Amino acid sequence: MIKQKPRGMSQKEFLQAKAQNKLYSFILDNGGIRGAILHGTHMINEMRATHKLGILETLVLGHGYLGAGLIIATLKGKDRAALKIECSGPIRGLSVEADAAGEVRGYLKANPIPIEIPLESFDLSPYFGDGYLTITKYPQYAKHPYSGQIKLKSGSIASNLTQYYWISEQTPTSFNVSIKFDEKGEVIGAGGLYLQTMPGTPNDRIKTLELILETLPSIGEVFANQLSPQEFVSSHFHAFSPRMLSDRRIEFFCRCQKETITQIIQNLPIDTLADMAINGPFPLETHCRNCNTTYSFEKEEIDALFSKRVH
């Protein structure tokens, strides 16, 4: 992939911001509740710059990236997961993939999102309309992936994920994702929180947790104000004796590369490759939707690939 660096950043600021992006796993009540908190400000800014997104597009796809990033908190090894939304509204849908290594990529089906009036609030319901959310998980050693689907209940990806886990996995789970913009429309904070109660958690503890969740501040705003994920968990869930377990990198990253696409072109049927070498079009361009990268091949490159096949 070819990333675009967020505008207005020095190399030092870029590296510092990148180092902050992590997914932290923790437990509450000695393991009765498990959770994860994601600091994703830099990931969202890289996503925005590379996909060339406006404010509305950044908000929608950014929530998808943060949601998918939280889903991988329970994955390990080479497990991966995909979050997809198909809808009737102007957003049309989105597709985001993430793996246990913390690599997140994906795209909007409509960019820009066609709107008739300027964005006046962050209520996304009118832009989604009716539709479905599908989660597919690809365990490393499973023979087949498994997936579940729910009808969209609101314009909030976090709320729909919460509903999905309750319906499809029958596990009480809460998702919270947010992105904070400054007065110029720049992303200055982005993050997410995931909490899941384990079987046997007392009802009074669940009710206490629900009360805390109702009063939580915007996580994007918290990170914009430079509070660390560890400080956030410690301050808001101190009654549950939080214990941080581990952290992993989280990054906008796609493994597409020109070498892989070159190999695909070279392995095309010989008649197809011959026609391509003669008739083009040139430059031949291939595009990765997940990272908005275009790879170009000049006539000389296609001729060389054809020559390798016939000699």
Query: At how many degrees (to 10) do helices 41-51 and 55-71 cross?
Result: 130
Residue 261 has pLDDT above 80, yes or no: yes
Residue 26: what pLDDT?
97
For CA atoms 187, 58, 132, 80, the dihedral sign is negative
Residue 15 lies inside a defined structural domain of this protein: no
- Domain holding 295, by residue range, is 258-310
Q: How confident is the model at residue 1 (pLDDT cuts 50, 70, 90)?
A: confident
Are residues 183 and 106 part of one domain? yes
Could you report the per-residue pLDDT of 95-133, keeping only the tens digit for each? 999 999 999 999 999 999 998 766 677 788 889 999 999
Q: What is the CATH number of the domain that holds 234?
A: 3.55.30.10
Are residues 248 and 281 part of one domain? no
| Interatomic CA distance for residues 275 and 24, integer angstroms | 52
Residue 5: what pLDDT?
75
pTM value is 0.93
Residue 44: what pLDDT?
97
Could you report the per-residue pLDDT of 218-249, keeping only the tens digit for each? 999 999 999 999 999 999 999 999 999 999 99
Are residues 263 and 246 part of one domain? no
Residue 9: what pLDDT?
74
Q: How confident is the model at residue 289 (pLDDT cuts 50, 70, 90)?
A: very high
Residue 23: what pLDDT?
97
Are residues 288 and 247 part of one domain? no
Query: How many angstroms from the chain centroid is the CA of residue 96?
Result: 5
Q: What is the mean pLDDT of residues 203-208?
A: 93
User: Are the C-beta atoms of residues 250 and 102 closer than 8 Å to each other?
Assistant: yes
E strands present in 79-219: 80-87, 93-99, 103-108, 131-138, 146-151, 173-181, 187-197
Domain count, the chain: 2
